[in-house]
Amino acid sequence: MRGFIGFIVMIQGAMGFVGQTFFDHAWGLLPHWFELPSAAYAGLFAAGAALAVWGDTAKKRKQRQAGAV
């Protein structure tokens, strides 16, 4: 579940950053509720990537432990 949520947050951060930096306004769902600077969208992307990696690592660790038993 962490990986899925991380992926969604990562996409929202990337869309907001690219839209606000290179075009006239941020894209995605978050700009409908919040006005964030470009650095915040980059931070959301990084946080989403960290969640996705954490979720994938936990899934692989669980698979290794199940295979070892």
Say which amino acid occupies 64: R
Q: Is the pLDDT of residue 45 over 70?
A: yes
User: In terms of C-beta density within 10 A (0-12 exposed, 13-18 middle, 19 or more buried), how is residue 33 classed?
Assistant: exposed
Q: What is the pLDDT of residues 20-41, one digit of tens each?
A: 999 988 888 888 898 889 999 9
Look at residue 69 in the predicted model and tell me its pLDDT.
65
- The residue that leads in pLDDT, 44 or 3, is 44
Identify the pLDDT of residue 8. Answer: 93
Q: Counting beta carbons within 10 angstroms of the beta carbon of residue 22, is it exposed (0 to 12), middle (13 to 18) or buried (19 or more)?
A: exposed
The pTM of the full predicted model, rounded to 2 decimals, is 0.81
Distance CA 6, CA 44 (A): 9
Q: How much of the chain, in percent, has pLDDT values that exceed 70?
A: 99
